[in-house]
Structure 1
Amino acid sequence: MNIIKGANLQIRNQELLIHSLVGLLVGFFILHPISMVIYWFDTHGAEYSLISLGKVISDSFSHAFSLHMIGMSIAFSVLGGVIGFGSGLYYRSLKRKDGVLFGKRKLLEQSIPSLIKEGENEFVEFKSSLRHDYYQVKMNKNLEMVIMKSIAGFLNAKGGTLLIGVDDFGEVLGLDNDYFTLKKNDKDGFQQRLITLVSNTFGKNTCAFLNISFHLINRREICTVVIQPSVRPVYVNENSRTIFYLRTGNVTNPLTTSETVGYLQSRQIIKN
């Protein structure tokens, strides 16, 4: 695993080096000579014609590479290198996002029944309900916090899909029992309750990382929550404690303080 991470880090560093080198060359061979042409036009005003335009450009380019202009050449090379380094960072960011989106696209290419059939994994989790307790056969608001923990786990990891209304064995239970516990007994009331929970638990901005939809499976309605990875860590307040949850494999686990710090540091290294 360390060998793979080292290889990936080396590739990312090579990409940054290439972007910086290309930027340096562009600064030296393009930006500097063009600046000389612009300077000539700016200082000579209308004292040129289209006939002499080719000679002006040729002379300006030659002058840009002369020995006494070495200072300007270095300055533009450095400028180009900085721009190239910035474009390399942006490219790496896009590439990382594409990798995450690729995993999601592979999931979305499949139908909901296929997701259920394949069972839970790193990117898919099932929950029987939002607040209806099937064991006690009554409403249990404590189950809402279980949903929040699952969402936190995906937000802190690579994102994923949470199916509500499906039990651990893949049996479709539907949301009718949850609807019955709400003031507005339908999917709109369910969605409003879910958004309120997310906003109160993680903040309103976190709702932008969630996409909530509903699907009929075997004539039973279930809720699908597609979760993008959060740009910042999210925590769950539980019994006066702030807990960091992370989705690993097919389970969502709380991390200790030292484990949380280690994970966030490793994620920051990967981003860089």
Structure 2
Amino acid sequence: MKKNKELILHTLIGILTGYFLIHPISMVIYWFQLNPDEFNMAGLTNVFLGNVKHAFSLHMMPMSVAFSILGALIGLGSGFYYKSINRREILLYGKKQLLQQSIPSLIANGESEFVEFKSSLRHDYRQIKTDKNLEDVILKSIAGFLNAKGGTLIIGLNDTGEILGLENDYWSLKRKDKDGFQQRLILIISNAFGKDICTKIHIAFHEINSKEICTLYVEPSRQPVFVNEDNRTIFFLRTGNVTNPLTTSEVVKYLQNRNLGF
């Protein structure tokens, strides 16, 4: 009930507006259309008050109900619009809070619901070799942010925030620089989720302690985003400071709640 109070309030205001304002005014306008020759400024007040009073008479009740329903629909539409604007403002506020912090501050504050660190795009630091399968890990993290409230993925850091850089990733690419790295990112993202999703991901590079890192500012997606893995489509969601796969029932429940604005 509390989560839908805006819709209820807008609907009630719409009903009252339709009954007490739109209906009487329409009655006055209708009278002037039927009696154009009888109009004069001296009798304007009497005409207005007489038609307003007539609008609330008993035999006009069906019209009053009709205008109340019209007002309710207008109010409901206004409520949904207000909720969408409010939701956008909340998302923009979260982004502004992130952007107001410097990259070192983000790193110092560690991982959170809106920030995640990844060591590399495709370099395996344990086995000290290139492993293209690690790109799937990046895609899962991106999907988690897309399906949640958005956030920032920083590549080139370990879990503790130690700066590793992107040099090892660069050496694994045909074009061994940040342009080649960005091209590879865009390619795997567009192949996995579609080119339209690329517009929700903003890539930037930063140099810290003579090492380059890459930040991906991910906007939330209106449509659910799935990751293909072993002939399965999996829904990942960023919750707290972890990205987890959801079961089918959990996905259905989450999407229903999200569409209802919970």
Q: 1:78 aligns with which of 59, 69, 74?
A: 69
- Corresponding position: 1:177 with 2:168: yes
Match of 1:271 in 2: 261
Aligned length: 262
Instruction: Please identify, of 258-267 and 122-131, the stretch whose mean Cα deviation from structure 2 is larger.
Output: 258-267
Q: 2:90 aligns with which of 92, 95, 99?
A: 99
Return the offset for 1:28: 0.9
Q: 2:138 aligns with which of 118, 141, 147?
A: 147
Provide Cα deviations, 1:94-148, integer angstroms capped at 9, x if missing partner: 3333333333332222111011011112211111221233334443211111100
Match of 2:100 in 1: 109
Match of 2:27 in 1: 36
Partners of 2:44 and 2:110 in 1: CA distance: 70
Q: How does 1:181-260 map to 2 (within 5 A)?
A: 181-260=172-251
Over the aligned positions, Cα root-mean-square deviation in angstroms equals: 2.3
SS in 2 for 1:233: coil
Equivalent residue letter for 1:238: E
Provide Cα deviations, 1:195-218, integer angstroms capped at 9, x if missing partner: 221111112222232222222222
Partners of 2:77 and 2:99 in 1: CA distance: 33
Partners of 1:184 and 1:17 in 2: CA distance: 57
Return the offset for 1:151: 0.6
Match of 1:17 in 2: 8
Provide Cα deviations, 1:156-186, integer angstroms capped at 9, x if missing partner: 2222110012222212222233233333433
Match of 1:7 in 2: none
Give the 3 Å change call, closer, same or farther, for CA 175–53 of structure 1 in structure 2. farther
Question: Contact 1:12/1:92 (CA < 8 Å) preserved in 2?
Answer: no
Partners of 2:141 and 2:64 in 1: CA distance: 56
Match of 1:66 in 2: 57
For structure 1, the 5+ residue unaligned runs are 1-9
Partners of 1:54 and 1:258 in 2: CA distance: 63
TM normalised by structure 2 equals 0.88
Give the 3 Å change call, closer, same or farther, for CA 76–257 of structure 1 in structure 2. closer
Return the offset for 1:47: 5.2
TM normalised by structure 1 equals 0.85
Give the 3 Å change call, closer, same or farther, for CA 142–46 of structure 1 in structure 2. farther
Partners of 1:61 and 1:68 in 2: CA distance: 14
For structure 2, the 5+ residue unaligned runs are none
SS in 2 for 1:271: coil
Partners of 1:59 and 1:180 in 2: CA distance: 85
Equivalent residue letter for 1:271: G
Partners of 1:152 and 1:111 in 2: CA distance: 24
Question: Contact 1:157/1:247 (CA < 8 Å) preserved in 2?
Answer: yes
